Amino acid sequence: MGAFQDKIVYCVGGSSGIGLAAAKGLARLGAHVAVFARDEKRLAKALGDISACRKNESQRLLSVSMDVSCRQAVKDAMQRTVAGLGVPDILINCAGRAYPGRFEDIAIDQFEETIQVNLMGSIYTTVALTPFMKEKGGIIVNTSSVAGLVGVFGFTDYCASKFGIIGFSEALRSELKSCGIKVQVLCPPDTDTPGYAVENMTKPEETKQISKTVRVLTAEQVASALISGMQTNRFLIVPGLEARISCTAKRFVPSLVEWVMDRQIASVRKKRGRQ
């Protein structure tokens, strides 16, 4: 894993969950790491956790409070960090949110906020850092989801944002390839994080039934797959065998995936009708 020794890594959404696990994993491999998130208390704790994992005392570690949904805040934070820590070799966009519910119950404000955080947040960081990264090349990883490849009941706003991440990243990959910048997309399944606990508070029963088909991974498992995936030329990094099977089936036999999900939804409704 010497590929990450002395590399400068920016991890947006790095105060918890997958982002924090990735930051800790890369610190263990000798990288200099900056983590970005809104909550200063969580950032302070995260920085302590990352410090405990670093390979040696010479590694530079930094936490930056930033609202990823605010374009100017992102621009200012990234410029300050470049001036202080240096141009990133790796940008990992891991900030995101999900509040599942039935389409007709989701307020339009929630649609806009979800897209702003999940999609526009990644665009803002990429816009701010691409001019710097073009000077030496590097890696940009945007975090989508299995729900960015497979539309899932209860996730209309989330799927809109995560499908958008994949389209944005695919076009970006084509444009930045000649600059020596590799663009990849992380597509995790359900992952045991603080955000996942929040999701489960509002998930419709149909969504919970569908989720049972794919095993819940730990943040560390996803981060390990991410770190391994960055050392390949794969565009999509999909952690977990069940998730890869689901995504492959969606690509080659989409009608089968739809049939399975329809049956799962029908089973919940049938059970509800008997109650």
DSSP conformation letters of 156-225: HHHHHHHHHHHHHHHHHHHHHGGGTEEEEEE---SEESHHHHHHHHH--HHHHHHHTTSPPEEHHHHHHH
The active-site residue, picked from 158, 169, 211, 246, is 158
8 Å CB contact between 55 and 30: yes
> Strand, helix or coil at 124?
helix
The active-site residue, picked from 24, 162, 182, 203, is 162
Clarify whether 162 is annotated catalytic.
yes
Backbone dihedral angles phi then psi of residue 149, each to the nearest 5 degrees:
-120, -25
Please report where in the chains the tokens 């299995």 appear, as a residue: 146
DSSP conformation letters of 10-26: EEETTTSHHHHHHHHHH
Find, among 30, 71, 77, 19, the residue nearest to 53 by Cα.
Answer: 30
The active-site residue, picked from 16, 63, 69, 144, is 144
Clarify whether 75 is annotated catalytic.
no
8 Å CB contact between 170 and 234: no
Please give the positions annotated as active site: 144, 158, 162
